[in-house]
Chain A
Amino acid sequence: MDIDMAAIDRHFFDIGYMDTLSSQQTPVHQLDPRAKLLTTLVFIVIVVSFGKYEISALIPFFIYPVVLCAIGNVPPAYLLKKLVLVSPFAILLGIFNPLLDRDIMIRLAGIEVSGGWVSFASILIRFVLTVGVALTLIAVTGFNAVCMALEKLGAPKVFVVQLLFLHRYMFVLVDEAARIFRARALRSFGGEGTGIKSYGSLAGQLLLRTLDRAQRIYLAMSCRGFEGQIRIMRPLRFGPREIGFIFGWSAIFFLMRFYNLPVLIGRAMTELMR
């Protein structure tokens, strides 16, 4: 039980580390969040638009997250750990491809690789690229700034406010849950009372506490003039640097979308060697 608890606590502080990363002052951090958000959206759309069996053309796209991490001073090991944490979703999505699609596509030094395996690999690469880029975006921008950018770019206000509150109260909720679990752990001896049965009342307890808190927060908000609109003051400026960032990267992405760079380079190398 104690080990469980420590694990929950650790993950929770790990999320807080994202905020620490995002409060740095590097050239990437100083860019307007809207520029980073837009560029990242372009990146994701282009990566997703590739064909089902594409692998080689995707590889050059790693340059974007790598450059952002390098300039933004984000430790890659931290991001990779987070990626591994959510990878089951992607793996589940593609795990049946090798079974369903058995046509041989590539022969590599006598080993036959079926189309299923190729598309599975393609899914994994896309997952690493898109989720990795999203995590990098938050690490170099901050969750709140990303929400602000979403709002400024026209995302529905309700949605943005939900995200902001989720981020703010995740910590309080985890704390609350940790307290409830600790209370149970300290009073259950030798595994007695830790079974599935007590989970029902624990979850119920947590829900009731959450509702109570929601009520108090709403009261606090209405005490300060809340009428359904959250106003945040954040002077954002969109300058030539931002425009350069968006168009520069987008140009590179389009280039990589329509020209398969690894293949071109490979061809050029063979030409030269001849």
Chain B
Amino acid sequence: MSHHIVEASDLHFTYPDGTEGIRGISFRITHGESVAIVGANGAGKSTLLQHLNGYLMPTRGEVRIGDYPLTRKNIKTVRRTVGMVFQDPDDQLFMPTVFDDVAFGPLNLGLPPDEVETCVMQALETVGVAHLRNRPPYKLSGGEKKAVAIASVLSMSPNILVMDEPTSDLDPKSRRRLIKLLNTFEHTKVLATHDLDMAVDVCERTIVIYAGRVTADGPTLELLQDEALLEKSGLEKPLQMQNCPVCGERNKKRNANSNIIRAPRRGLQSG
């Protein structure tokens, strides 16, 4: 199914004030792939994501969703194909109740009322918050808001799921629940994140960007082991790939004190 493909070729974007957000990014994400876009603050992750559903139009280069290049004309179809989950759920949940919010997309797509009801409830059940349907969004907890925000996008049955910082603002339990949930989705997923541990758990492929350019693109496990690359891109090895940092520090001190030269452990920076 070719319409699940996301492709960027030689993408450039300059903000009206002259700031260069993106300086030549190319990649091709195919059907069912799960890709993490990682990078330091200001690397251009959010700017890149905003190109994927036509909110920003590239100053040079093009974005292709499925078989067509993204233009002003087909923006509606693209937005139906690409479901975008925002970083701050308060931006996404603007309707009076949870149900209304999740129904917003399907109603705009022109679905008949009884079908809207089913697809809304399905989306809410998928993320496990069906019991919240009549609550106003501002009374929900952070994790609940995030879940509803995801449901509001799922209800439009997009083929491609794009998420900006999905795990920020979540407590560890909610974060784990979200990771499990993401792993059950068969959509093509593009996640922009600093949470490299989530990238390891959810995405088999990672694109590292730095200062508006791609510095690496490959299997997550491989790239996130590459300390030189991570250092260069303003990142750090995921915690689960480091040895316990507390014990590591202790060992380092002990080694220094006893003057015994040991082979550095694998994965630990020798100090």
Contact = CB atoms under 8 A, between A and B. Distances in A.
B107 interface: yes
Given A221-B94, A223-B79, A231 B107 contact: yes
B71 to A, nearest CB: 16
A19 B95 CA distance: 14
Contacts of A220: 84, 86, 91-92, 94
Contacts of B117: 233
Interface string A207-244: 00000010011011111111101111101000000000
Contacts of B83: 223
Contacts of A19: 136, 139
A233 B100 contact: yes
A233 B95 contact: no
Nearest to B79: A223
Interface of B: prevailing SS: helix
A233 B55 contact: no
Interface stretch (B1-9, B108-116, B253-261): B108-116
Contact of B55 (A164, A219, A227): A219
A69 B95 CA distance: 28
B108 A225 contact: yes
Contacts of B95: 164, 168, 232
Interface string A104-147: 00000000000000000000000000000000000000011000
A223 B101 CA distance: 13
A132 B8 CA distance: 59
A30 interface: no
A144 B95 CA distance: 10
Contacts of A217: 91, 94
B222 interface: no
Interface residues of B, number: 35
A168 B138 contact: yes
B175 interface: no
B100 A216 contact: no
Contact of B96 (A164, A213, A223): A164
Interface of A: prevailing SS: helix
A213 B103 CA distance: 22
A158 interface: no
Given A16-B139, A172-B138, A221-B94, A227 B79 contact: no
A225 B91 contact: no
Contact of A171 (B55, B105, B138): B138
Nearest to A216: B91
Interface in A1-57: 16, 19, 23
A220 to B, nearest CB: 5
Contact of A225 (B79, B100, B113, B136): B79
A167 B137 CA distance: 12
B176 interface: no
A189 interface: no
Contacts of B139: 16, 19
A19 B97 CA distance: 11
Contact of A168 (B94, B113, B116, B156): B94
Interface in B96-142: 96-97, 100, 103-105, 107-109, 113, 116-117, 134, 136-139
Given A23-B134, A227-B108, A231-B108, A222 B94 contact: no
For the complex of A and B, 6 pairs with smallest distance between CB atoms: A225-B108, A224-B105, A144-B96, A231-B107, A216-B91, A171-B138
26 contacts: A19-B139, A144-B97, A164-B96, A165-B94, A168-B96, A168-B136, A168-B137, A168-B138, A169-B94, A216-B88, A216-B91, A217-B91, A219-B55, A220-B91, A220-B92, A221-B94, A221-B104, A224-B108, A224-B156, A225-B108, A225-B156, A229-B108, A230-B104, A231-B104, A232-B96, A232-B100
Given A171-B138, A213-B90, A224-B79, 18 more contacts: A16-B138, A19-B139, A144-B96, A144-B97, A168-B94, A216-B88, A219-B86, A220-B86, A220-B94, A223-B53, A224-B152, A225-B76, A225-B79, A225-B80, A225-B108, A225-B156, A227-B108, A232-B96
